[in-house]
């Protein structure tokens, strides 16, 4: 695999002893694009460390549609909540690109884990990140209108906008492609943005965009 435990930032400050112990209860696994890491409702068994690739976290609504929540990039700890609390995963995760995961048998880890202050700090960091992620999801989905979401995305992810199709942007924003198309049309009509043939966006009035979501 080409990965070494001691080179992973999470564990770099662990003693050699602990690294050996960790090695005995974990293994690396490669995943292909579109492969599922876990599914909403699954019982957790492993704690995951994303080492390579892009992993999408999403929920599925009763109509079977995917509600985008977040995309993780390396290095991220994933699944700690479900493991700590021993509850089913509240969301699903699938690879967008191919990637690599360190899978750690959580049960065997538990006892020693929380004694190590460095590891505790990593967990706190990871949980803090999760709270922020969820807080953002709530803000995006419960407070912002479709137009506000689009405006925010354009201002905050201009480069990403140009690099993917409207299709995918709509999925990330949890709006239909039609709604995105209509919203972009409106922003163009209002001379706030323009979009050239190569899907490059020109922001004429960043302030006006910002006003739409703040």
Q: By CB under 8 A, name the binding residues for a second copy.
A: 59, 61-62, 67, 69, 81, 84-85, 87, 90-91, 114-115, 117, 120-121, 123-124, 127-128, 130-132, 134-135, 137-139, 141-143, 145, 148
Long-range contacts formed by 193-200: CB under 8 A, 24+ apart: 193/154, 198/162, 199/161, 199/162, 199/165, 200/162
Asked whether 34 and 45 are in contact (CB, 8 A), the reply is no
Q: Give the per-residue contact string, 140-159, with DNA (x = CB under 7 A; - = no).
A: -----xxx------------
Give the nearer residue to DNA in terms of CB position, either 64 or 117.
64
- Between CA 76 and CA 166 the distance in angstroms is 27
Strands 55-60 and 92-95: antiparallel
Q: How far is the CB of 153 from a second copy (least distance, A)?
A: 17
Q: How far is the CB of 102 from a second copy (least distance, A)?
A: 21
User: Should residue 86 be labelled a site residue for DNA when binding is judged by CB under 7 A?
Assistant: no
Among 86, 136, 176, 200, binds DNA (CB under 7 A): 176
Q: How far is CA 159 from each of CA 86, 203, 211, 214, rounded to the nearest angstrom?
A: 39, 12, 20, 21
Give the nearer residue to a second copy in terms of CB position, either 36 or 131.
131
Contacts of 187 (CB under 8 A, 6+ apart): 150, 151, 154, 193, 209
State the binding partner of 178 from DNA, a second copy, none, CB within 5 to 8 A by kind.
Answer: DNA
User: Should residue 63 be labelled a site residue for DNA when binding is judged by CB under 7 A?
Assistant: yes
Among 20, 139, 165, 204, binds DNA (CB under 7 A): 165
- Between CA 176 and CA 179 the distance in angstroms is 5
16-24 helix and 106-113 helix, angle to the nearest 10 degrees: 160
* Among the residue ranges 4-12, 78-86, 180-188, 205-213, the one whose residues contact DNA (CB under 7 A): 180-188
Residue 105: both structure tokens together: 């048998």
Give the nearer residue to a second copy in terms of CB position, either 53 or 152.
152
User: Should residue 178 be labelled a site residue for DNA when binding is judged by CB under 7 A?
Assistant: yes
- Between CA 151 and CA 136 the distance in angstroms is 15
Give the nearer residue to DNA in terms of CB position, either 19 or 148.
148
Q: What are the helix and strand counts (H, E) for the chain?
A: 9, 10
Asked whether 34 and 95 are in contact (CB, 8 A), the reply is yes
State the binding partner of 134 from a second copy, DNA, none, CB within 5 to 8 A by kind.
Answer: a second copy
Query: Where do contacts with DNA occur on this chain (CB under 7 A)?
Result: 63, 65, 145-147, 165-167, 170, 174-182, 184-185, 197-199
């Amino acid at each position: 695999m080409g990965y070494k435990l001691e080179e992973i930032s999470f564990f770099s400050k662990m003693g050699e002893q602990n690294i050996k112990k960790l090695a005995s209860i974990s293994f690396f696994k490669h995943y292909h694009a579109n492969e599922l890491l876990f599914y909403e409702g699954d019982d957790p068994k492993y704690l995951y460390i994303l080492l390579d690739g892009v992993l999408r976290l999403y929920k599925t609504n009763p109509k079977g549609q995917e509600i985008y929540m977040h995309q993780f990039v390396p290095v991220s700890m994933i699944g700690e909540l479900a493991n700590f609390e021993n509850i089913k995963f509240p969301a699903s995760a699938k690879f967008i690109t191919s990637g690599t995961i360190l899978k750690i048998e959580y049960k065997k880890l538990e006892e020693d884990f929380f004694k190590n202050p460095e590891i505790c700090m990593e967990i706190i960091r990871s949980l803090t990140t999760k709270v922020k992620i969820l807080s953002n999801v709530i803000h995006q989905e419960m407070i912002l209108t479709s137009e506000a979401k689009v405006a925010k995305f354009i201002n905050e992810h201009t480069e990403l906008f140009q690099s993917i199709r409207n299709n995918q942007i709509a999925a990330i924003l949890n709006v239909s492609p039609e709604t995105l198309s209509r919203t972009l049309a409106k922003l163009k009509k209002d001379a706030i943005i323009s979009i050239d043939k190569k899907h490059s966006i020109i922001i004429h009035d960043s302030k006006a965009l910002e006003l739409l979501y703040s």
